[in-house]
Amino acid sequence: MTEFMNNRKVQAILIDLGNTLVHFDAPWPDTFQEMSDALLQSLKKAGLSIEEADRFSQDFYQRLILNEPSQENKYKQVTATHNLMELLKGYGFSEPDPLIINCALRQMFEIAEKYWTIENDTIQTLSALKSHGYRLAIISNAEDTKNVQQIINNAKIRDFFEVIIDSASFGFAKPGSAIFNEALGKMHISPLDSVMVGDRLDTDILGANQMNIRSVWIKRRSRFSGKPLPDESMKPWKTIESLSALLQILE
């Protein structure tokens, strides 16, 4: 981080959603099974009965959760809709009805949405940042845009943000430069006048560093916390334990 960048006044704050503003308050393996059951039940009601349900759930988990956007495909985001459609084709359903797909995914994501919980310091911190004149945006990696929008609605934080971008609707994910450029372009702001706050070194921090955006790593729910830095390119400009510490380091 150059001295020139350090001396530029921060005008805009780009913020990750999951594990930064909200967190998932449930044991993940059990919850995914509950989500998968809801998905399969919805498909069955629509006439798409899956005989090998356990294997189907594992295959969908592999596609949805483990197969993240990569540098090789320029961080192109594959949506949950596309993943489910292609998986059903692989199980012999040649042309699944998009309405059936969307209904099943809604049933599944509604299970997850009830477990996303706003962090205790989110509202207070966002209010303080706004009162100090900072412009705010959310940049979230996600497989389903309706899911992201509902989480934001449930947390009652939409009105704090000038721009909200999720990779499912935009088409490209962090750490790729496209999604950062989209947010900065909508705000008509320079990377040098911005900060990115997030919990993931490999998406939030790496992406910001590559864009000459000052990066702030929030450690409290990060899977990288307590581990050696994976790579120098993921070194954050600042590190905070909680969101409430953000205003202090900016001021």
Shared-domain flag, residues 20 and 37: no
Question: What is the spatial distance between Cα 120 and Cα 155, in angstroms, rounded to a whole number?
Answer: 11
Quick one: what percent of the chain has pLDDT higher than 90? 88
Q: pLDDT tens, 48-59? A: 999 999 999 999
pLDDT higher than threshold 80 for residue 22: yes
Shared-domain flag, residues 16 and 123: yes
Shared-domain flag, residues 126 and 107: no
* Whether 53 contacts 40, CB under 8 Å: yes
Shared-domain flag, residues 234 and 175: yes
Shared-domain flag, residues 126 and 207: yes
Q: Which residue has the tokens 């900065």?
A: 184
pLDDT higher than threshold 90 for residue 227: no
Q: pLDDT tens, 169-208? A: 999 999 999 999 999 999 999 999 999 999 999 999 999 9
What is the token pair recorded at 242? 């909680």
Shared-domain flag, residues 15 and 135: yes
pLDDT of residue 214: 97
What is the token pair recorded at 209? 């560093």
Domain boundary among 91, 113, 135: 113
Shared-domain flag, residues 14 and 134: yes
Shared-domain flag, residues 106 and 124: no
**Confidence band for 224, pLDDT divided at 50, 70 and 90:** confident
Region class of 119: left (phi > 0), else alpha (psi between -120 and 50), else beta: beta
Domain boundary among 113, 136, 157: 113
Domain count, the chain: 2
Shared-domain flag, residues 40 and 83: yes
Shared-domain flag, residues 17 and 48: no
Shared-domain flag, residues 120 and 203: yes
Bridge partners of 51, per DSSP, are none
For 12-39, what is the mean pLDDT?
95
Residue 177: closest CA among 207, 136, 198, 216: 207
Domain boundary among 82, 113, 144: 113
Q: pLDDT tens, 135-177? A: 999 999 999 999 999 999 999 999 999 999 999 999 999 999 9
pLDDT of residue 6: 66
What is the token pair recorded at 18? 């999951």
Shared-domain flag, residues 77 and 47: yes
Report yes or no on whether pTM surpasses 0.85: yes
Q: pLDDT tens, 65-98? A: 888 999 999 999 999 999 999 999 999 998 889 9
Query: Which structural domain, as residue segments, surrounds residue 16?
Result: 3-24+116-250
CATH, residue 19: 3.40.50.1000
